[in-house]
Chain A
Amino acid sequence: MATYDFLFENLGLKDWCSDGGGDRPVSMADLLARKKGGAAETSVWDTPFPSMDALNEACSKFPKSRDLTIGLEDGFLAIKDALRFVLDPITEPLSWMLDGAMWLAEATPWWIVIPVLLLITYFVSRSWSIVFSVGASILGLAFIDHYLPAIQTLSIVFVCAAICVALGVPIGIAMSRSNRLQRAVLPVLDMLQTLPTFVYLIPLIFLFSVTESKLYGIAIILYAIVPVIRLTDLGIRMVDKDVLEAAQAFGMTPRQKLYQVQIPLALPNIMAGVNQTIMMSLAMVVIASLVSAPGLGVLVLRGIRNLELGVGLVAGLGIVILAIILDRVTKSALARVNAAQHH
């Protein structure tokens, strides 16, 4: 006898419940209860909450809560092929880009890669002290034989951050122009940002094979695209109303306003978003090593898995160094933009 038998009796559903109820697979708990005789009357103190499982005890026709999650799995599996059919070709270029960048970074000898990186650093930051610290960091990592994983991590971050910017800025602009779109997108961004990172790896693992690099690419992009969208939207919405009115009064078309006024004036905010996006891709690339993303994250994972304390710590330190140089370089670019249009 279960606690909620009376409910189904009173509702006159007893027949429906007992009808063919015996074929269901029996759980361990059921067996135990059956062995005990199941006659023990539960006291009021122990009354279970009328949850799906408790009700299932009274009526075997009533679904258990596991049935709910099974339903979700079945549903997902049912649409999986269709989803894959659509998403696979769309996301295929991502794999090519990640693999291509990785191949390029690995195939090019170190004595070309390092100077090129320093040159990029100089053009972005225009500061010799930053170029020097970036050079020291990379040479240091190379000296302790972490050059390859570091360069792998960097190439993933570059590709993913570039795609985030290419997608995020237009989305942010569209959001800034439509309040309705903003209301629709903001909860999605909130969800992407708060959902534990492992959780959205789950459907991705179902959809794509773990050997494909786009799997971790998508995970990183979904996670890292949020700040660039948010800050583009915010930046364009914060553009001085007076200046916009002047643009209007001089007869600018909406396109002229966007390219000649709104984007240039929102640039400091957009750059702050790009900085955040790069930092978040770096954070995610470590977690993505769980789904076969190469780079320093793999070493961290090895440290955890094999209890190789030193390997994990040094690789972790390497990630910190990469984070610092990426942050410094993008921040100095941001500072330059800010200085150019200080109000």
Chain B
Amino acid sequence: MSAPMISIRNLYKIFGANPAAAMAKVREGMGKEELNADYGHVLGLKDINVDLMEGEITVIMGLSGSGKSTLVRHINRLIDPTSGEVLVQGENVLDYGEETLRDMRRKTMSMVFQHFALLPHRSVLQNTATAPIVRGEDKAVYEPEARKWLERVGLAGYEDSYPHQLSGGMKQRVGIARALTSNAPIMLMDEAFSALDPLIRTDMQDLLLELQVELNKTIVFISHDLDEALKLADHLVILKDGEVVQQGEPQHILLNPEDDYIVDFISDINRARVLRVRSIMEPVKQDVSHVGEVQREATLEQVIAQTGGESIGAYLVKHEGDVVGELNMSTLVRSLVPQKRSGQ
């Protein structure tokens, strides 16, 4: 496996008047509550270790106050950590001076914001071209580029409009086009779709996945919505109170939750829509006769529709024409039942 694009190592963030002193207390083992009650410092992030692979969408998920937006701002150092390292392409961004840091923000990373954060006094086209304008590029070079991306996100013809003339969904399309025009390999998306209506949100998720197929960017996506996280994530990181509770491949987390918190969290989702055949298939047994074929990447919901609700028998699992395993319908049905909490 190649080296990760971004590595976050032993990252701590403490908010308060004297973080260094509070950091020492935390190293001695003081908890979040005690630190807040006795010293008035808030432990924002505690010992975060996450690797983000090139070309993957890593979703950092957690409820509000879990520190997810704080975490993503450490990657481009909009926030400085109290302790720890952030390695981007092998270099520790905390060693960067102002100039190098600015250079990284201009060329290596782009960002999409929850509330769009477009410049209200600039046209859609100028907003889209923010990154090249900041870099001081020539108008003749960046304008076609910006137009291309606006068209790609479905906003051709709106170049000369102003942000206040657009709806929320369209504004965020501009936000995405702005991030893409920067041509940076890393894209940070802070709750990018959270302020949008559910239908538009689904549209935008599809757009992102579609773009990702051809662009292969390293995307860090922050979300509080589990369905969204499961839909987008190649790698899912679940945060709670500033700590990573579990991280891994979403299907794996769904089938093997390590923590009561996660069990609770995933108990309400539509498992049939999220789980895929590949996660629950087994090696082919020779003595079983198969009643049909299913695709490896199909969701269980699609399989159920395909079988017409029949819940017995076994299917051959195929991927790109080859047989890769078999799927027992009884396993499928069992996998749809959420795990009970250990105490219950």
Contacts and interface: CB of A to CB of B under 8 A. Distances in A.
B316 to A, nearest CB: 49
Contact of A341 (B76, B104, B121, B182): B121
Interface in A303-343: 340-343
Contact of A242 (B102, B115, B182): B115
Interface stretch (A2-10, A74-82, A85-93, A249-257): A249-257
Contact of A249 (B78, B133, B135): B78
Given A256-B134, A341-B164, A342-B164, A250 B119 contact: no
A135 interface: no
A39 interface: no
Contacts of B102: 251, 253
Main secondary structure of the interface of A (DSSP, over half): helix
Given A249-B111, A250-B111, A240 B117 contact: yes
A246 B117 contact: yes
Interface residues of A, number: 22
B106 interface: yes
Nearest to A244: B117
Residue picked from A253, A261, A341, most chain B C-beta under 10 Å: A341
Contacts of B162: 340-341
A165 interface: no
Contacts of A247: 119
Nearest to A253: B102
B90 interface: no
Nearest to A241: B117
Contacts of A300: none
* Those 7 A-B pairs whose CB atoms lie nearest each other, nearest first: A251-B105, A251-B106, A246-B117, A242-B117, A249-B111, A341-B121, A341-B120
Interface of B: 76, 78, 102-107, 109-111, 113, 115-121, 130-131, 133-135, 162, 164, 182, 188
Interface of A: 240, 242-243, 245-253, 256, 260-261, 264-265, 267, 340-343
Given A246-B130, A249-B111, A250-B106, 15 more contacts: A246-B118, A246-B119, A247-B119, A248-B78, A249-B78, A249-B109, A250-B110, A251-B102, A251-B104, A251-B134, A253-B102, A260-B119, A267-B121, A341-B164, A342-B120
